Amino acid sequence: MANSRFGPQLLSVYRVIIGGLFLCHGAAALFGVLGGNMGTGKAVEVAVWPGWWAALIQFVVGVLVVLGLGTRPAALLGSGSMAYAYFTVHQEHSLLPIQNGGELSVLFCWTLLLLAVTGPGTFAVDTLLARGRARHVVPVTAVRLPTAAAGVPVAAE
């Protein structure tokens, strides 16, 4: 992507789409919208393990990934939660995702891991914050160290 002219911008679009889909899954289970939890039209009961907590993670991670705020840690958390979902819910039915209904868990797991590694792309709150911090950094060359008469730096005590 670094060699692609539009790579960082496309990564941002990719991040927003993936985050939006993850957010929708969380919202469906938490609030009973968009067809509800697993198409039932209902929300998951509050604080029930693991469904409600998984939905909360999906919702919060989805919001953060869409905004590009804390993208790397948020995406890593989402990736780990999908790996957990795959191995504890889906794999007990059979080994392959196509056979056990775990395709979405696997896709979200690897997609979010990719975002955790690559970062948010150009259009993200993280990128804006990094640019703002970069403006306020004092260049190392501008710092003068105290020196002795012979031009040798003075030892710190």
In a domain, 36, yes or no: yes
The span from the CA of 15 to the CA of 24, in Å, is 14
Q: How many domains does the chain have?
A: 1
CA diameter of the chain: 80
pTM value is 0.78
What distance in Å separates the CA atoms of residue 59 and residue 20, rounded to the nearest whole number?
Answer: 9
Does any domain span residue 85? yes
Contact 66, 19 (CB under 8 A): yes
Q: What is the pLDDT of residues 46-85, one digit of tens each?
A: 888 888 999 999 999 999 999 999 999 999 999 999 999 9
Residue 151 belongs to some domain of the structure = no
Give the mean pLDDT of the chain: 86
Burial class (CB in 10 A: 0-12, 13-18, 19+), 77: middle
Q: Is residue 11's pLDDT more than 80?
A: yes
pLDDT higher than 60, residue 156: no
CA distance 95 to 105: 13
Q: Which residues contact 49 (CB under 8 A, 6 or more apart)?
A: none
Rounded distance between C-alpha atoms, residue 19 and residue 12, angstroms: 10
pLDDT value for 21: 96
pLDDT of residue 39: 81
Would you say how long the chain is, in residues?
A: 157
Task: With CA atoms as reference, report the closest residue to 55 among 82, 76, 95.
Answer: 82
- Indicate whether 99 belongs to any domain: yes
Residue matched to tokens 């840690």: 73
Q: Which domain holds residue 82?
A: 7-142
In a domain, 155, yes or no: no
Classify residue 117: in a domain, yes or no. yes
The pLDDT assigned to 5 comes to 86
Pick the more confident residue, 6 or 66: 66
Q: How much of the chain, in percent, has pLDDT values that exceed 70?
A: 84
Q: What is the mean pLDDT of residues 89-112?
A: 92
The verdict on residue 1 lying in a domain is no
Residue 29 lies in a domain: yes
Q: Is the pLDDT of residue 114 over 90?
A: yes
